[in-house]
Amino acid sequence: MRILAAGDHFVRNALIADALRHDLAGSPFELTELTLPWPLEPFGKVSEVDEASDAEDALIEALDGVEVCVTQMAPFTERVLAAAPALRMIAVCRGGPVNVNLQAAEARGVRVCFAPGRNAASTAEFTIGLMLAAMRRIPAAHRSLADDRGWDGSYYTYENSGLELEDTPVGLIGYGAVGSRVARVLCAFGAEVEVYDPYVRGDVHGMRASSLDALLSRSRVLTLHARLTPETQELIGARELALLPEGAVLVNAARGGLLDTGALCDALDSGRLSAAALDTYEQEPLPADSRLFSTPNLVLTPHLGGASRAVARKAAAIAAAEVARHVRDEPLAHALT
């Protein structure tokens, strides 16, 4: 069997190769490699697929005679799939195979699987970090010393002192793999956790909100963990931000499209919100003229929530396990076609 590892500078080919050798021990295979430029070059839309490296020609050449491809960012467009008649499986090292034309793959009998949950712990931890950074003004305090402005005592005044999590009402929108972990950690901090997720049944860490508006009206801190769908596009806009208590803090490490960025900037400029922290954006990379760069009390990070070494290793391991199931002709655990 010929397998192509089409890794990048995060899910590296060496990690994919090690995972395949572990899971396919005793099964002969020939491994070839293609290194894609992400994240040193941003992903984007490639023909009809999303969030992929613009490398159709290189991928077509590398797929010659290949039966299985393990990748995170390879653009499996209809053109690529049509040029790879030997291909039988694509194992995508991410939470959803948005870089694969699923209809074209299914029409050609190509199985497509993915790696759900690989970054849940990493994103949950990063969310808590963003929350603390925004609430306690950690980046601004760092800059006040690093920029040689001296010891700024104003950070210790009552007006400029930050919030703490203990006994603070924190609202979570979304209670999936990430949101549930965040809720559990917040409970350990002693926060008053409230969850809104109409698609989740059963117990949650903390209380369950009866409605989104009810959650917003009580949330001194709001953190977003919903999936981005047509229903949740700009779920939090000017009306919703106005329902939050005066001086609330907002955190978004989920999807940028959940939030009306202009409304957020307005709320921060007016002082209606005391702080916010964002890791994801409607447009990535952020344009140079983005209003976010000039908005006060805002912590910005470049979509790093899922960027841990453990995530890269987990992604490769999940994909390799799926390849092993394919080789043994067993049902795939996370298949879409």
pLDDT at 154 (0 to 100): 87
With a cut of 80, say whether residue 148 has pLDDT above it.
no
pTM: 0.93
CA atoms within 13 A on the CB side of 299: 29
CATH 3.40.50.720 residue window(s) in the chain: 2-118+308-327, 120-300
Which whole-number Å values give the CA distances from 189 to 28, 122, 170, in the listed order? Answer: 50, 18, 11
Residues 6+ away with beta carbon under 8 Å from 252: 223, 224, 258, 259, 276, 277, 278, 279, 280
140 — pLDDT class (breaks 50, 70, 90): very high
| Tens-place pLDDT, residues 255-306 | 999 999 999 999 999 999 999 999 999 999 999 999 999 999 999 999 999 9
Query: Which tops the pLDDT comparison, 314 or 153?
Result: 314
Rounded CA separation 32/320 (Å) = 15
pLDDT given for residue 152 in this prediction? 87
pLDDT at residue 241, rounded to an integer: 98
pLDDT at residue 315, as a whole number: 98
pLDDT interval class at 135 (50, 70, 90): very high
- Residue tagged 């953190």 (tokens): 223
What is the rounded distance in angstroms from the CA atom of residue 26 to the CA atom of residue 330? Answer: 17
Cβ burial, residue 276 (10 Å; 0-12/13-18/19+) = buried
Q: Among 146-155, 163-172, 260-269, 304-313, name the one with the lowest average pLDDT.
A: 146-155
Active site residues: 255, 284, 303
pLDDT given for residue 26 in this prediction: 87
For 49-99, how does the pLDDT look when each residue is reduced to its tens digit (9 = 90+)? 999 999 999 999 999 999 999 999 999 999 999 999 999 999 999 999 999
Average confidence (pLDDT) over 242-250: 98
Q: Report DSSP letters for 132-163, one per residue.
A: HHHHHTHHHHHHHHHTT----GGGGSTTT---
pLDDT for the residue numbered 136:
96
CA angle in degrees (0–180, nearest 5) for 53-56-59 = 95
pLDDT in tens, 198-244: 999 999 999 999 999 999 999 999 999 999 999 999 999 999 999 99
| Residue 302: how many other CB atoms lie within 10 Å | 13
Angle at 286 between CA 10 and CA 182, to 5 degrees: 60
Q: For domain 120-300, which architecture applies?
A: 3-Layer(aba) Sandwich (3.40)
Task: Say yes or no: domain 2-118+308-327 is CATH 1.10.3720.10.
Answer: no
Stretch 117-122: mean pLDDT: 96
Task: Give the model confidence (pLDDT) of 181-201 as tens digits.
Answer: 999 999 999 999 999 999 999
Has residue 179 got a pLDDT over 90? yes
Q: What is the pLDDT of residues 18-35, one digit of tens each?
A: 999 999 998 999 999 999
User: What would the pLDDT profile of 151-162 be if each residue is shown by its tens digit?
Assistant: 888 888 998 888
